[in-house]
Amino acid sequence: MSRDVARAAAQWLALLESGAATERDHAALQHWRDSHPQHEQTWQKAQTLRQRFSDLPQALAMASLDRPQPGRRAVLKRALGIAALVPTAWLVSRQLPIEAWRADLHTATGERRRMTLADGGSLQLNTATAVDMDLAQRRITLVDGELALNVPGPAAMTVQTRYGELRVSQAEVCVRQMAKGCLVSVLQGSVQVRDLNGQMVTLPGGRQASLQADGLGAWAPFDVLQPGWRDGVLTAQNQALGDFLRELERYRPGVLRWDPSLETLRVTGSFRLDDTDRILNLLAQTLGLEVQARTRYWVTLRKIA
């Protein structure tokens, strides 16, 4: 999502919130939304998330009441001023955090990327992921998202996260950074994990653990289905539909909603991530659901009445 698109969406949002939009304005907005998929995606993000800032525009508007400027032009001017202060940075940051835009490598929502390293290893980035790379120092910083790293030789590669760092040599690991910690999953070999307190733990192959601000949590058996994204596959084995949809949501731009009554339905299967619309249609056919699409970027799953 470019900053120009984010700014345009913010200005449209501000105009509608001002109450000064005419029928021609609404038609122009619809034309803008229809003119490019990225426009519609950004608009849906704005519609979904604007409630987080619902109080701030009102406060800013109240501050200007002692200097009234009558007419639609003045209302629009104040609304666009609000757009410049709040929604642009907000909309940009929703696609990836600001730090991610400055990262050496990043992927958009639904995109995956693979690169071969000089030592014959590989680095893969999952959806909405950003990393900084210092190959001379053999260091990768996971800014946001999820990566898979394969280091075949003895020369270690360091992965820096917000919650500590990993030293990877002759091993393969997946690291998923989340709001309150990182999920570290060792596919092959073993990985040294150093937490923020400086404590070092060796996590063996076939195990996964959560690395948090207070250290590495309890080990658990590695979920062999979890890294299917590396091959473009999302796999479920008798999984609750709600959990499956929350995972699928990571790979879809726009808004995906479902009726709460669907949460406990069970899903089994392997699904190709390169066509998430097809995944939803398959779920609907299998589970007797209805896919309601306002647009491609606003989809709701419901039980068939």
For 106-161, write each residue's pLDDT tens digit: 888 899 999 999 999 999 999 989 999 998 999 999 999 999 999 999 999 999 99
Of 2.60.40.420, 1.10.760.10, 3.40.50.300, 2.60.120.1440, the CATH number of 105-223 is 2.60.120.1440
153-182: average pLDDT: 95
How far apart, in whole angstroms, are the C-alpha atoms of residue 59 and residue 57?
5
Question: Roughly what angle, to the nearest 10 degrees, separates helices 241-249 and 276-287?
Answer: 170
The pTM is what?
Answer: 0.70
Q: How many CB atoms lie within 10 A of CB 48?
A: 15
Confidence label for 48 from pLDDT (cuts 50, 70 and 90): low
Question: Among the listed ranges 55-64, 132-141, 214-223, which one has the minimum average pLDDT value?
Answer: 55-64
Give me the pLDDT at residue 57, please.
41
Q: Give domain 232-303's CATH architecture.
A: 3-Layer(bab) Sandwich (3.55)
Higher pLDDT, 70 or 128: 128
Question: Containing H/E element for 279?
Answer: helix 276-287
Average pLDDT across the chain, whole number: 82
C-beta separation of 200 from 188 below 8 A: no
How far apart, in whole angstroms, are the C-alpha atoms of residue 77 and residue 73?
6
Boundaries of every domain in the chain: 3-95, 105-223, 232-303
Paired strand residues for 164 = 161, 195
Which 8-state DSSP code applies to residue 65? T
How far apart, in whole angstroms, are the C-alpha atoms of residue 82 and residue 149?
43
